[in-house]
Amino acid sequence: MRRAGVLVVVGLVLAFAAAPAPASAAGSNHAPGPPSSLTVDEDAMPLWVTDDPLFGWQVNDADRGEVQSAYEIVVYDGAPADASHLLADTGRVSTDRQTFVDVAGLAAKLAPDHSYWWTVRTWDRAGAVGPYAPLARFDTALRDADWHADWIRRAGAENAQYEDYSLVRTQVRISASPVVRARVYASAGHHYDLRVNGVRRAHGPSYAYPDEQYYETT
């Protein structure tokens, strides 16, 4: 008589826990690359910076698990960026922060309606420093005391029963020198079109509240 056999299979499950990789192997640390995605007040090359500019950037490092240990921000008042145009230099600041970064004392040095250039470099946790990022630009806005304008509205429009729109044109003659910078600060009763030589360059609305009026920079 043959007896039925019972085959018992015991499975062995092995679990492996991988330890986090170090930032880099000994002797193989690489300096970080130049930072990218430079922003001021969360915008790339904004035209309307007011008060204290807040800087941001993205760290670029080829080593795994790296973190920023320090940064240096340099701001220039003019181009090319050289020592004669240096406006502010933070020096080496030890922190891993790379967003909403303030440069102490910079706001008091900024003029309204002006262009500035800046750059940043970073250090990794091993103390290696990388190159500066390519220069980025930001423009300052007008302050309340800098705004000198009167509302423009054609005669009789204030008595219109329906929404009224006016077409206003002015001519500006450019001198023989090349135009290197042009800004338009426009405020309107909400909706507006800004055209230059017949081509639309900006479009409202420009918001308003009972106690303050906003404008837009183009």
Helices and strands in the chain, H and E counts:
0, 14
Cα(28)–Cα(41) distance, integer angstroms: 36
158 near 151, Cβ under 8 Å? no
pLDDT of 1? 40
Q: What percentage of the chain has pLDDT greater than the value 70?
A: 83
Determine which of 24-33, 63-72, 78-87 has the lowest per-residue pLDDT on average: 24-33
Cα(144)–Cα(150) distance, integer angstroms: 14
Per-residue pLDDT, averaged over 183-207, amounts to 86
For 149, 199, 209, the CA distances from 144, given in Å and listed in that order, are 11, 29, 15
pLDDT of 8? 39
Could you check whether the bond before residue 80 is cis, i.e. omega within 30 degrees of 0?
A: yes
Per-residue pLDDT, averaged over 11-21, amounts to 45
Per-residue pLDDT, averaged over 65-89, amounts to 89
136 near 38, Cβ under 8 Å? yes
Per-residue pLDDT, averaged over 73-93, amounts to 89
pLDDT of 35? 96
95 near 136, Cβ under 8 Å? no
Report pTM: 0.77
pLDDT of 95? 96
Per-residue pLDDT, averaged over 110-125, amounts to 95
pLDDT of 163? 66
Confidence band for 215, pLDDT divided at 50, 70 and 90: confident
| Structure tokens given for 111 | 């003029």
> b/e per residue, 168-205, with b = 16+ CB within 10 A?
eeeeeeeeeeeeeeeeebbbbeeebeeeeeeeeeeeee
CB atoms near residue 77 (< 10 Å): 17
Confidence band for 112, pLDDT divided at 50, 70 and 90: very high
Q: What would the pLDDT profile of 34-57 be if each residue is shown by its tens digit?
A: 999 999 999 999 999 988 999 999
Question: Is residue 85 pLDDT above 60, yes or no?
Answer: yes
Q: Cβ contacts of residue 149 below 8 Å, gap of 6+?
A: 187
Cα(68)–Cα(123) distance, integer angstroms: 6
The one-letter amino acid code at 166 reads S
- Taken in order 94, 64, 101, 36, is the CA torsion positive or negative? positive
pLDDT of 179? 87
